[in-house]
Amino acid sequence: MSSVSVLFVCMGNICRSPTAEGVFRYFVETAGLAKRINIDSAGTHGYHAGEAPDPRSSMAAARRGYDLSRLRARQVKTADFEMFDLVLAMDEQNLRNLQRLCSPAQQHKLKLFLEYARNFDEREVPDPYYGSGSGFEHVLDLVEDASAGLLTDLRKRLANSQS
């Protein structure tokens, strides 16, 4: 395994999953692994296909140094399950949606993103869309923590593949 690919998934791909993509991309680039780790995000629903991330997500991310401006929402495709090594859902409902779409042979790629978190006991990244600005900050806290754990895991995978 000389490279690995990760797809972050929420419902509409305008709040949680683009935040995860932007934060994790920053972590990967800072670690010098951008050529070895491919990152994308998508939604289980196509409500916002082609749209930029929610302005509240973008502003919260920008305050912490993450740029979401080039991201655009898209819906998960069946080809994603072949193309990506990990498909990480933000919550249980979207994980169930992915399980219904995914072939049995690819089910092992599906996980909850917060399985990689170290400092939070939550299993799901809550949807901040209908809430206040503090919800977007909490999403960032969770995503930063899980991104650090995911990067540690992927570094080990990549190192083991070279031995």
Catalytic positions, please? 10, 16, 127
Place of tokens 């993450």: 66
Determine contact, residues 25/67, Cβ cutoff 8 Å: no
Determine contact, residues 141/21, Cβ cutoff 8 Å: no
Indicate left, alpha or beta for 3 from its phi (over 0: left) and psi (-120 to 50: alpha): beta
Give the residues across from 89 on adjacent strands: 9, 112
Integer CA distances (angstroms), 118 to 121, 138, 143, 149, in order: 8, 15, 11, 7
Under DSSP, the state recorded for 60 is: H
Amino acid at 101: L
| The token pair that represents 24 in the structure block | 């994790």
Determine contact, residues 130/55, Cβ cutoff 8 Å: no
